Amino acid sequence: MVTDSSRKTAAARESLLDLLSSIKDPELPVVNIVELGIVRDIVVDGASVQVDVTPTYSGCPAMQVIEQDIVQALEADGFTNVKVRYVFSPPWTTDWLSERTKTKLREFGIAPPMSVEGAGANDLVTLRRMRKTIPCPYCGSANTEEKSEFGSTACKAIHYCNSCHQPFDYFKDF
Amino acid sequence: MTETTSSAGNDDVFEYLLRLGDDRLVLGHRLSEWCGHGPILEEDIALANISLDLIGQATLYLGLAGETEGKGRDADSLAYFREGVEFRNLQLVELPKGDFAFTIARQFLFDVFSLHHLEQLQRSANKELAGIASKGYKEVRYHIRHSSEWLQRLGDGTTESHNRAQKALDELWRFTGEMFAGDDVDKQLGAAGVAPDLDEIQTKWRAMVSDVIQRATLSIPSDTFMMAGGRSGRHTEHLGHMLSEMQIVARSHPGAAW
């Protein structure tokens, strides 16, 4: 049975989710932190609120900025006791990005992550890794090549399009 | 907040978390020394990126270690305010970075260990440890592709690169035994379902390392003498120099936040 107070809480959570959607990933300004899939739970208790967040990469410097942004946004909304808690299990995966988010990334010039499914563990053991074809976000060509699996940020790899001769970032499947 | 869902003693868990954290902190620092010195721009970026992952992982393990210890020490105080004898990292990771072949060979030997170790640690009875391991495991999958592919390029490359890669393996081999030399802590935590079985990891490590070394047209060193001591605080002379550099800012400005 849904009680009055839990209905209120659900409504509060919904509006807080909207508020959190205004916080952008500092390294991917077209994607907000809700779309990124890292907001796992919001627990409101009076003027206190706890936001559970699953970090993307262990060493991602954006996480600290995101944490500050969450605290700032919620304090501006009237909360006096804001806590960001990191939840590590289950680990974040790029599969949590929606199709809409992937489209936004592509339009921004970043090739979105392919599905993590099917990556398989054996490719590491045999080292006969089948490289996925990453389509160019600019011209859509499949004639692209990986230049480096490590790019400008932990989440991106550097690729090059042989058709339109553009280097581009690939948001690694993770 | 720490939920230890096993009967393992806190001291053992603390000790184990220090090992996990220190390996990555020290190796991450060594890799960061390449920043601005990489042989090509992409490598400079790659090594800095991997370094960032490792230091990020170290922060998580050391943070959990501090909580487990319960004496108010956080990841920073454990990283910056311990002496060399208190560090629990493998001697392998503290060796100076050497040339690019040495860095790649060391990284590869550690990555294979780390991959198999974290693969199993994801199922640890300590749920927080398992969660951190899951994240690290995914990152190490990228690291190992990088190091294994480079080792093959170097080994199967020019005479110069082949010789340098072989020399690196020859120098590093005696530091690999320590990864699998379990002690009482490993036994206690193994029995409690917190830590994985090192013998099993060694078998997998050996198979994968042999495979890649063979593909790289390199040879497994015949050296059977193995160094030991890192886990109990006995280190090479290199760690102290590294720590003095790594810790100087924090120690010169105690209490500073950044």
B256: exposed, middle or buried (Cβ count in 10 Å: 0-12, 13-18, 19+)? exposed
Average pLDDT, chain A: 85
**What residue type is B243 in one-letter code?**
L
Average pLDDT, chain B: 94
Return the percentage of chain A with pLDDT > 70, whole number: 86
Distance of alpha carbon B91 from alpha carbon B96, whole angstroms: 11
| Strands across the sheet containing A156-161 | A110-111, A167-171, A156-161, A144-148
Residue A86, beta-bridge partner list: A53
Task: Choose the mutation target among B1, B52, B120 for the interface with A, i.e. most A CBs under 10 Å.
Answer: B52
Q: What is the pLDDT of residue A58?
A: 86
Range in A114-123, B139-148, B155-164, B186-195 with the lowest mean pLDDT: A114-123
Q: What is the pLDDT of residue A104?
A: 93
- pLDDT class for A129, splitting at 50, 70, 90? low
DSSP string, B71-130: SS--HHHHHHS--GGG----HHHHS---SHHHHHHHHHHHHHHHHHHHHHHTT-SSHHHH
DSSP assignment letter at A164: T
Q: What's the CA dihedral at B20, A151, A84, A44 to 10 degrees? A: -130
> What phi and psi values does residue B112 have, to the nearest 5 degrees?
-65, -40
Residues of B in contact with A169 (CB under 8 A): none
Q: What is the pLDDT of residue A174?
A: 84
Comparison of pLDDT for A44 and B88, the residue scoring more? B88
Q: What is the pLDDT of residue A14?
A: 83
Tokens of B17: 């978390």
Predicted confidence (pLDDT) at residue A4 exceeds the cutoff of 70: no
Structural contact between residues B95 and B236, judged by C-beta atoms closer than 8 angstroms = yes
DSSP string, A31-53: EETTTTT-EEEEEEETTEEEEEE
Count of CB pairs separated by less than 8 Å, A with B: 85
Q: What is the pLDDT of residue A59?
A: 84
CB count within 10 Å of CB B170 equals: 16
Structural contact between residues A142 and A172, judged by C-beta atoms closer than 8 angstroms = no
Q: What's the CA dihedral at B161, B166, B170, B172 to 10 degrees? A: 60
Q: What is the pLDDT of residue A27?
A: 86
Helix, strand counts (H, E) of chain B: 10, 0
pLDDT in tens, A136-155: 999 999 999 988 888 888 88
Which phi-psi region, left, alpha or beta, contains residue A42 (left: φ > 0; alpha: ψ -120 to 50)?
A: beta
* Exposure b/e, B123-138, CB count within 10 A at least 16 = b: ebbbebbbbbbbbbbb
Q: What is the pLDDT of residue B231?
A: 96
Task: Tell whether ipTM is more than 0.90.
Answer: no
pLDDT in tens, A72-116: 999 999 999 999 999 988 889 999 898 899 999 999 999 999 887
Distance of alpha carbon A162 from alpha carbon A170, whole angstroms: 15
**What residue type is B162 in one-letter code?**
H
Cα B1 from chain centroid (whole Å): 26
Residues B130, A158: C-beta atoms closer than 8 Å: no
Structural contact between residues A55 and A92, judged by C-beta atoms closer than 8 angstroms = yes
3-class DSSP state of A25? strand
Task: Choose the mutation target among A56, A88, A174 for the interface with B, i.e. most B CBs under 10 Å.
Answer: A88
For the segment B162-178, the average pLDDT, to the nearest whole number, is 97
- Under 8 Å CB-to-CB from A68, ≥6 apart: which residues? none
Q: What is the pLDDT of residue A140?
A: 94
Residues A158, B115: C-beta atoms closer than 8 Å: no
Residues of A in contact with B49 (CB under 8 A): 150-151, 154
Range in A11-25, B62-76, B109-123, B150-164 with the lowest mean pLDDT: A11-25
First-to-final CA distance of chain B: 25
Predicted confidence (pLDDT) at residue A53 exceeds the cutoff of 80: yes
- Predicted model pTM: 0.90
Q: How many residues appear in chain A?
A: 174
What kind and span of H or E run contains B155?
A: helix B127-155
Residue of A nearest to B1 (CA): A85
Distance of alpha carbon A49 from alpha carbon B73, whole angstroms: 26
Predicted confidence (pLDDT) at residue B5 exceeds the cutoff of 50: no
Q: What is the pLDDT of residue A125?
A: 45
β-bridge pairing A24-25 and A28-32: antiparallel
> What phi and psi values does residue A139 have, to the nearest 5 degrees?
-115, -5
Tokens of A110: 């970043």
B199: exposed, middle or buried (Cβ count in 10 Å: 0-12, 13-18, 19+)? exposed
Predicted confidence (pLDDT) at residue A131 exceeds the cutoff of 90: no
Distance of alpha carbon B195 from alpha carbon B53, whole angstroms: 22
Residues of A in contact with B45 (CB under 8 A): 148, 150-152, 158
Predicted confidence (pLDDT) at residue B2 exceeds the cutoff of 60: no
Structural contact between residues A33 and A39, judged by C-beta atoms closer than 8 angstroms = yes
Residues A58, B136: C-beta atoms closer than 8 Å: yes
